[in-house]
Amino acid sequence: MKILYFAWLYKQLNRGEKDVSPPDSVVTVADPIDWLAGRDEAFAHAVAKRSLTKSAVDARLVPHQSPIAGASVIAFFPPTIKGADQ
């Protein structure tokens, strides 16, 4: 499974992606967040406020409780803030 990091997560982690093989206990979007945070201190710090981290599974925006069975790619990114690019 490929994990993609965008925007401030990309900048904070200094990487855009990571290939991972999570254990079978990782079944929802929230689970790889917890699993990765337990293995990577920088990631744990970057996602300390989980509600600010949005996610997509195979290019579909999903809530953290969504299942990831069969997913090829999970992406994490901050929420869009209206007017932030202006």
Domain presence at residue 83: no
Range of the domain at 6: 2-77
Which pLDDT belongs to residue 57?
A: 97
Tens digit of pLDDT for each residue in 34-71? 999 999 999 999 898 888 899 999 999 999 999 999 99
Domain presence at residue 43: yes
- Number of domains, the chain: 1
Which pLDDT belongs to residue 80?
A: 61
Domain presence at residue 58: yes
- Say whether pLDDT at 82 is over 70: no
Domain presence at residue 52: yes
Using DSSP, state whether 73 is helix, strand or coil.
Answer: strand
pLDDT category at 16 given cuts 50, 70, 90 is: very high
- Say whether pLDDT at 84 is over 50: no
Bridge partners of residue 77, in order along the sequence: 54
Domain presence at residue 24: yes
CA distances from 56 to 45, 72, 73, 75, 86 (A): 20, 11, 8, 5, 25
Backbone angles phi, psi at 16, to 5 degrees: -105, -20
